[in-house]
Amino acid sequence: MLQQFYPQVPHRYRYELNKDMQLAAAHFIPHPDAGVCARTHGHTYFINVTVAGDDLDGSGFLVNFKELKEAVHGRWDHTLLNDDVESFDGMDPDRFPTTEVVARVVWERIQRLLDQKPNRPRCLQVVVRETPTSYVVFRPREGVDLP
Ligand SMILES: [Zn+2]
């Protein structure tokens, strides 16, 4: 299936894991240039997160798949994304729940989770597919998003 193909991230870490998630959510883009997307409507989002690192934790995990799912699916499945004002602020275009911003905010949530781990894994890529024909890739930049 088309949704199964994801771009690869070049890196030199020993381990890489990928977690696929699917979530149903509604959103709207509060801007006149958004056209019909300014109206509330829904998507089935397909999300893939890539996590990498050199070391495993005490359980032999880079990170538990379940924790990744809880951080994203657990927060937004069957919600109106715009209601999550901490993540998607209706006044700030950099915080409108566009596919681009959803991808970046997913990365922020995942990396915040990973920052608490003693083995310090890193989220290298987030892919958010909003429709069968449209997806966005977010990759953090060293020195900008990551130390
Ligand atoms: Zn939409």
Cα of 38 from ligand 1 centre, angstroms: 9
Expressed in angstroms and rounded, the spacing between residue 137 Cα and the centre of ligand 1 is 16
Pairing of strands 79-80, 41-53: unpaired
pLDDT band at 3 (very low <50, low <70, confident <90, very high): low
Q: Are 119 and 56 in contact (CB under 8 A)?
A: yes
**Gap from CA of 135 to ligand 1 centroid (Å):** 11
pLDDT for 77-130, tens place per residue? 999 999 999 999 878 999 999 999 999 999 999 999 999 999 999 999 999 999
Active-site position among 37, 67, 100, 108: 37
Active site residue 78: yes
Q: How far apart are CA 71 and CA 132, in angstroms?
A: 24
Q: Among this protein's residues, is 142 annotated catalytic?
A: no
The answer to whether 44 touches 27, Cβ cutoff 8 Å, is no
Give the C-alpha separation, 77 to 25, whole Å: 6
Q: Is the pLDDT of residue 131 over 60?
A: yes
Q: What is the mean pLDDT of residues 132-147?
A: 90
